[in-house]
Structure 1
Amino acid sequence: MHPIHRALALILAAALPAACSQSTPPAPAAPSVPAAQTQGQKELGLYRQLQQEKSYELAAPIGAEIVAKYPQSQAAKEVQETLADTTAKATALTTRRRLERLWSYQSGKESGGTQNTASIYSGDSTETRVRLVLRRHSAWGQSVYLFGSGKGFECGASCSIGLRFDEQLVQRMKAYLPETGEPALFISDDKAFLKRIGGAQKISIDVVEKGKGPRTLVFEVGGFDPDKFPPLKKG
């Protein structure tokens, strides 16, 4: 081989590996999304939806789970801005519904007349509970009374009982026993009582039961719905 040709061959041989090594490098992989931005996003969407629907009782536990399970996530950061308020609203709704379920309402015919009643039991043991009854009857008028069991209440023709609305001071109200002998105790000033019950959460009533002695009856009345205890239609 001619010396010049041999030199060119050597130069090409030396340049080939270099050319291969200078080929275009592979494209870098797309950067991964930080976990803090992706964790809890599905749950967060549900939390937002339930808040918009004002379903706070369902939203609160989902929000608490996001914060507990993904504490460093963006979802947890967002939830923490509203979770305290959502939990408070959920608690209020749960309490309200529990109190509403304590009341029983009835409307219909009774003893030849039309009657509407609203009643609630005292919050003690089942065997000794006393019922507070609000009644409107087309013939008997409006009444507020306690209905117990056994021998009823000590009172005589007339007596005075102590009542406390929420945490206010005890006030005295006149009461009387029914002439028909039922184990009941009627509160004389039914209008004043009904006026106060609408804004109360709890009513405590001091009574004396025959053969049992003094006792304080406690009624959680905060769920009372006056619309379900309407005045009777005239005529």
Structure 2
Amino acid sequence: MVDIADLAARESLVVAIDGPSGSGKSSVSKETARQLHAQYLDTGAMYRAATWWCLDQAINLEDKDLVVATVLDGQLEFSTSPDQEFVRVNGIDVTEDIRTERVSQAVSAVASIQQVRDHLIALQRSIIEAAPRIVAEGRDITTVVAPDANARILLTASEEARLARRGLQLSATATPMAEGAQASSYSKETLKQIVTERDKKDSATTSFTEAADGVDTVDSTELDFAQTVDAVLASVARQVTAKNR
């Protein structure tokens, strides 16, 4: 079995992590990147940034041609450090703005347009190809963006666990999967709409609820944050070892 030090020393390493809302993939992927001394790419932030730009320009999201033109007109910049997040659109810092409920409610409408996906997937691939080591997370990384990654993982959890975690994440004082965090002020109905309804819309475009062939599944329902990171790192080590045989 390859150990973490060996993985972190590899000249080239691509880890692809997909998963539904509330599975913990962003926080787990960031920590995985830290452990592997790798860069980190949040592809979901790209779709959110594109959506923010469309909303900022006050365009009709039902006009797909106009959405595509607007997205192509936006210059997107992203940090690839797991310790320093920033997102800019045409030089405007939107790091916090893309996480608002307004963007969350609209992002599926933008992300479901194939021309938008093609544009952002090309950008994602260019970032991954330029990185010596990177952990990329999203909804179609294992199957579309980086199907040849050294390790491909579907990170999932039960709906109950995902709703609870996303509730904590959306609370003002809590962090994803944090122990002892305060209960969410969001109603169960609101959380269900944010988490499961968005997943339902997005699953019409890409599959991220079941692992494709060759993709390892990590179920974090009964795991805390540290255990989930350990499980992901173990999966990466297993897959890299198997491919080196």
Q: Does the TM-score normalized on the shorter chain lie above 0.5?
A: no
Find the structure with the greater CA-based Rg.
1
- TM-score for both structures, normalised by structure 2: 0.22
From the two aligned structures, give the one with the greater helix fraction: 2
From the two aligned structures, give the one with the greater strand fraction: 1
- TM-score for both structures, normalised by structure 1: 0.22
